[in-house]
Copies of this chain bind each other. A is one copy, B any other.
Amino acid sequence: MSNPPPSPPAPTEAGAPPAAPAGEAAHRAAFSPLYRQIKGLILQSLDRGEWKPGEAIPSELELASRFKVSQGTVRKAIDELAADNILLRRQGKGTFVATHHEEGVRFRFMRLAPDEGDPVQSDSHFLECRRLRAPSEVARVLELRPGDAVVQIRRILSFTGVPAVVEELWLPGALFRGLTAERLAGYKGPMYGLFESEFGVRMIRADEKIRAVAASEQDAAWLGVAPGTPLLQVDRVAFTYGDRPVEMRRGLCLTTRHHYRNSLN
C-alpha cells in the first residue's frame, strides 16, 4: 500500500459508501468493520454475476489491491463467505464460487437419508409445471405483489425406484421465464443446479418448518400407502443473495425407510 509507513490507514473508506462518519454522527452509526464492508462488496459482485458459479474469483492479493486494503482483510471477508458456503477455497488453486453441481454439496439441501446405507441421489418425476397468479400466501412468502405470476411445480421423488416424497414448489414467475416440465425432466442433476445454470438464481440458504401430518387420499396414492399414514411435512423457504426469498416448497415424506437428519451445534 502507499501510505505513511507504520501507520495503518483510517478504516471507513473502501471504494464504497458504508459507514462514513460525517462530522460527528449520532452516538455511533452502526459501525461495520472494514472486512465486513469488503464482504459486502464481494457479495454485490456475486449477486450481479461478475463471477459465475464454478468460476474462480480474483486472488486475495488482487482483491486486496482492488479494494485498497491488506491481504489479511480480504482473507477475513472471504473466510466468512466460505463459512457461509458461498465461496469455496482450494489451496494452491484459488477461491471459487460455490455451485450446486459439485458432488460434495449435493446433500446440503437434501436432508432425507435412508435409514441404512449412504445417502443416495433421488429421481424426480414431474407431475406438473405451470404458470399462474400467486395465491395470497405464496405472494406473501415470496414478497410478490398479489396477482404476480408464479411457477407451480409438483413432483415425486423416488429412492432406488421407490416413491418417497411428493413435493410442491412455487417460484417467482419473473425469475423463471421459460421453465417447463420438459426442461425439468430433461435436466440431469439437482434442481438447484438447473436454477443456477439456466436462470441465474442461486440458492444460498433455506428455513424449514417440519410437522407430522396424515396422508391425504391423493398423496397416499402417489406414495403407495394407506390414507392417514403419517408423513413428514417439510415447509421450506429458500433465499438467494441478500436474503431475497425465491422459492417456497412443501414436501410430504414417507419416513418408513428414511429419516430427516439434522445436527445441532
Pick from B213, B235, B236, B264: contact of A230, CB under 8 Å:
B213
Q: Which residues of A contact B (CB under 8 A)?
A: 83-85, 108-109, 111, 205-214, 228, 230-233, 235-236, 253, 255, 259-265
Known contacts A214-B230, A230-B230, A230-B231: A208-B265 contact under CB 8 Å? no
A84 adjacent to B265 (CB under 8 Å):
yes
Q: Which residues of B contact A209 (CB under 8 A)?
A: 259-262
B212 adjacent to A231 (CB under 8 Å):
yes
Pick from B84, B205, B206, B211: contact of A259, CB under 8 Å:
B211
B259 adjacent to A210 (CB under 8 Å):
yes
5 A-B interface contacts by CB (under 8 A): A111-B262, A208-B263, A210-B262, A211-B260, A212-B213
Pick from B85, B108, B232: contact of A210, CB under 8 Å:
B232
Pick from B108, B211, B261, B263: contact of A232, CB under 8 Å:
B211
Q: A208-B263, A209-B261 are in contact. List 5 more A-B contacts (CB 8 A).
A: A109-B264, A206-B263, A208-B261, A210-B261, A213-B230
A228 adjacent to B231 (CB under 8 Å):
no
Docked CA distance A111–B108 (Å): 19
A264 adjacent to B205 (CB under 8 Å):
yes
Closest to A85 in B: B265
Distance in angstroms from A232 CB to nearest chain B CB is: 4
Q: Which residues of B contact A230 (CB under 8 A)?
A: 212-214, 230-231
Known contacts A108-B264, A264-B108, A265-B85: A210-B208 contact under CB 8 Å? no
Distance in angstroms from A233 CB to nearest chain B CB is: 8
A265 adjacent to B205 (CB under 8 Å):
yes
Docked CA distance A262–B260 (Å): 11
Pick from B83, B207, B214: contact of A263, CB under 8 Å:
B207
Distance in angstroms from A86 CB to nearest chain B CB is: 9
Docked CA distance A84–B208 (Å): 22
Closest to A228 in B: B228
Which one of A205, A206, A213, A265 has the highest number of Cβ atoms from chain B below 10 Å of its Cβ? A265
A207 adjacent to B261 (CB under 8 Å):
yes
Docked CA distance A209–B255 (Å): 10
B262 adjacent to A207 (CB under 8 Å):
yes
A212 adjacent to B264 (CB under 8 Å):
no
Docked CA distance A202–B169 (Å): 41
Minimum-distance CB pairs A-B, first 7 = A230-B230, A212-B230, A211-B255, A212-B212, A210-B260, A209-B259, A206-B264
